[in-house]
A = this chain, B = another copy of it.
Amino acid sequence: MNSSIGDVKPQTMDFEEPLLLKCGDTLSNYQLTFETYGALNDDKTNAVLVCHALNASHHVAGTYDGDEKTLGWWDNLIGPGKPLDTNRFFVIGVNNLGGCHGSTGPSTINAATNEPWGSAFPMVTVEDWVETQARLATKLGIDIFAAVMGGSLGGMQALQWTIDQPNRINNAVIVAAAPKLSAQNIAFNEVARQAITLDNEFFDGDFYQHKAIPRSGLKIARMIGHITYLSDDTMDVKFGRTLRKDSLKFNFDTDFQIESYLRYQGDKFADTFDANTYLRITKALDYFDPAAKCSGNLAESLSHAEANFLVISFTSDWRFSPSRSEEIVEALVANKLNVSYAEIDSPNGHDAFLMDEPIYHNLISAYFERIWNERCDV
């Protein structure tokens, strides 16, 4: 019990049905990379879709080739005996369209040109992702998800599922999310995008053909993002003003631990993530605003939702503060939907959704226990 699910292998699925994107472009075909954990039961009522956020992928749980360093990003939550128990549930992680971990995206080959898509890859939205995830579910024989779940941008996808696919989702678990970005949220994304697009190695998005990578821009983008994921308090407890050496250096090398930590995180990210994907995912975040179609009335946009909801926020999350989750909760309550809401006391900022916080994990566990039992009652 409570062990990792062990080694896993990503799978791919080809889609030949044209996909009309919200931006107006059509993809004539595309591929999604995904992983599954646990087994789909005979009546296909135990499937759970886990949606990823800005920096993650379909690799939600388990390891590759026994390497603990390859542990999935939500492995502490998902596995045998874990809060989302893969002994009970069939869990799916999908690399979103436009991603850079296997699914068709800017860094994959465009069959029409036999070159990487690069700047020609269209803009993708949360709605597009929900559509592609629904198509994948259909191909896997899943009519209805027991739950769709995600943190941050992943939670936004879960919310969009309840709007776009109300008959195919029984529960939405929305963690550390918001119904739309604030001006400040957009501002941070825009600085990150400027850092990438102004990088000399970006070549207007067609850096692959130049054998270049806009590493500096990606690094800066990641450093900015990282600051917004941590709370001021966490940073002070974890790093404070601790120096790397005994004294100040009086140069532009790293004096403080927090500086070298951020540089390290930025460099690591620049080694593994695609700049065009980063640009598009931040735009998908900025564009997400389901209430916009209803003149800003979020409750109205959710008027056809039928799912039950678990909404969770964290006290020290200043990226998507508890008040942002409460906007979602209020819109759900206005629709007399079944919603559980918890504001978890945590010092860990936005990143708390990725951490093993006992009250948080117990809550997820209890919620999935209820889903499991209600499923048996049927």
A interface, CB within 8 angstroms of B:
22-24, 122-123, 180-184, 186-188, 190-191, 193-195, 197-200, 216, 219-220, 223-224, 227, 230, 232, 235-236, 238-241, 248, 250-252, 254-256, 258-259, 262-263, 266, 279, 283, 286-287, 289, 318
Contact at A223–B194, with CB atoms within 8 Å?
yes
- Interchain CB contact under 8 A, A256 and B186: yes
* A316 vs chain B, min Cβ distance (A): 12
Q: How far is the CB of A374 from chain B (nearest CB, A)?
A: 37
Contact of A240 among B183, B191, B240, B250 (CB under 8 A): B183
Q: Do A194 and B180 touch across chains, with their CB atoms under 8 A apart?
A: no
Measured between alpha carbons, how far is A188 from B259 in the docked complex, in Å?
Answer: 9
- Which of chain B's residues has its CB closest to A192's CB? B220
10 A/B residue pairs, CB under 8 Å, sorted by A: A22-B250, A123-B251, A181-B241, A183-B235, A184-B230, A184-B236, A194-B216, A197-B252, A198-B219, A252-B279
Alpha-carbon distance A128/B199, docked complex (angstroms): 35
The oligomer's copy count stands at: 2
Measured between beta carbons, the chain B residues less than 8 angstroms from A181 are 241
Q: With A191-B220, A195-B195, A224-B224 known to touch, is A250 a contact of B23 (CB < 8 Å)?
A: yes
User: Which listed residue (B180, B200, B248) contacts A200, Cβ 8 A?
Assistant: B200
Q: What is the distance, in angstroms, from A276's C-beta to the closest C-beta of chain B? A: 10
The CA-CA distance from A232 to B228 in the complex, in Å, is 13
The 10 closest A-B pairs by CB, nearest first: A183-B235, A23-B250, A198-B216, A123-B250, A183-B239, A190-B259, A183-B258, A184-B232, A191-B223, A200-B200
- Shortest CB-to-CB span from A229 to chain B, Å, is 11
